Structure 1
């Protein structure tokens, strides 16, 4: 093989490998940066330590198959364990409770029927028709990325977390509660988007619980 042909093929190979290894990032929205503010390390550590809490609020789900809303009568989080009580007339759900830890969920419907599964998202969808990333929501609701998968954080011009992009979802932080004496500033409303699915959580009240 002539040297010039070998050199040309080698150049093509290098270019193709370089193209395959390039990660294409979406352009940043106007006024956003992916450079965290100086206090982000301390703030995120504070949020991770805030792992015993209770909130009330409202949940709204919109997806191609159906849509609906539910009251969050309580969402109690104690470390990795959650206890979520919803009430809704949507699809006859009535009062539904979800209790679980990562990798396990127990779902009880209004009629008393109880289901258990090692796949929380699949059980939630089978029982209610809603596609909710429950295990990730326990992190996103505090303004943190879920551990165990890649993510990208975007901050606004005030240094506040504005968007988390993770696992194909875009989580937008629309409003924040003010910081209290013993509770860090926490989201008041978040919107999670993926394809044609939208999950919105409006938090009316946060409370810290004793470990």
Structure 2
């Protein structure tokens, strides 16, 4: 894909996304779950349980921050690892849809500004259309606090045995994930605040709602 094609696609989308200026630090956390006692289990017990979590949905907010720009949006992301499908929606604070993704296996369809784009490499497709770097494949694991690759390194909180940070050389680049504000969600201990960093890029995610569907 030429740089000219990429620039032509990116400009209108960035203008739309820039309308969303939500501040993540002010987001509310999951209702009625903040005071729940977290499950006591070893890190391996937690990993074994979360590897069985195949169907889930999160709603919240996401921000992309680098030296040149800062943009944010409302996030809705539904993943079914059993069927290998996912739906991702980014909207402005006014409810205007600026990106809609539907994936089935290695077939990905993205709608942006009324146009539809398709491809087989999801992360490359998102970047070519929006200019955003989003490690979607690994994030479906990292958001649960488990490794995507065997050599991913996880540092655990001593008292709770919950992930504190994760480091990964994903696509030959160093990614670092920080976790905060754990909640007990339908028997799973899951973080609701994430900082995902690579070089000068910082992605922040705040989850207001975790939905577990594979019970």
Cα distance in 2, alignment partners of residues 65 and 136 from structure 1: 25
Q: Is the 8 A contact 2:58 2:77 kept in 1?
A: yes
Q: Are the aligned partners of 1:106 and 1:117 in contact in 2 as well (CA < 8 Å)?
A: yes
In the alignment, structure 1 residue 156 sits paired with structure 2 residue 162: no
The unaligned stretches of length 5 or more in structure 1 are 1-36
Q: 8 Å contact 2:53–2:214 — kept in the other structure? A: no
Gaps of 5+ in 2: 1-39
Deviation at 1:94, TM superposition (A): 4.1
Is 1:96 matched with 2:102? no
> Over the residues paired in the alignment, what is the CA RMSD in angstroms?
2.2
Cα pair distance change 1:102/1:161, threshold 3 Å: farther
Larger Rg: 1
Distance 1:98 1:107 in 2: 5
Quote the residue 1:133 is aligned against: 135
Q: 1:171 to 1:102 in 2, by over 3 A?
A: farther
Per-residue CA deviation, residues 14-64 of structure 1 (Å, 9 max, x unaligned), is xxxxxxxxxxxxxxxxxxxxxxx9712221111111111111000011124
Give every structure 1 segment of 4 or more consecutive aligned residues whose post-TM-superposition deviation is greater than 3 Å. 101-104
Residue 106 (str. 1) matches residue 113 (str. 2): no
In the comparison of the two structures, how many residue pairs are matched? 167
Structure with larger RCO (C-alpha < 8 A, sep 6+): 2
* Residue pair 2:88, 2:101 contacting (<8 A) in 1 also: yes
TM-score calculated relative to the size of structure 1: 0.72
* Structure 2 length-normalised TM: 0.71
